[in-house]
Amino acid sequence: MLQKLKGHWDYVSSVAFSPDGKLVASASYDRTVRLWDAVTGAALQKLEGHSSSVSSVAFSPDGKLVASASGDRTVRL
């Protein structure tokens, strides 16, 4: 079953699953990180704050934190 997760309005640069497999995080040049339900594909959260494109995203091993790297020279948790 192929699911298309829509929401980002620019290039999506990186994806990562949470360690428990329940969430997908995506980083985009639209300056946001989005969290999705990996089973239903539902959009759960939009993490804003970066002032430039987001290049990379990673979950912490316990799945409670998401780190994102950006062209705005900051890392966000």
Binding residues for its own copies, rule: CB under 8 A, are 1-6, 8-17, 19-21, 24, 26-28, 30, 34, 36, 38, 41, 47, 49, 55-62, 65, 67-71, 73-77
Closest CA to 14 of 53, 44, 61: 53
Nearest approach, Cβ of residue 53 and its own copies (Å): 9
Nearest approach, Cβ of residue 7 and its own copies (Å): 8
Nearest approach, Cβ of residue 16 and its own copies (Å): 6
- Cβ–Cβ under 8 Å, residues 41 and 7: no
Measured CA to CA, the distance from residue 32 to residue 36 in angstroms comes to: 13
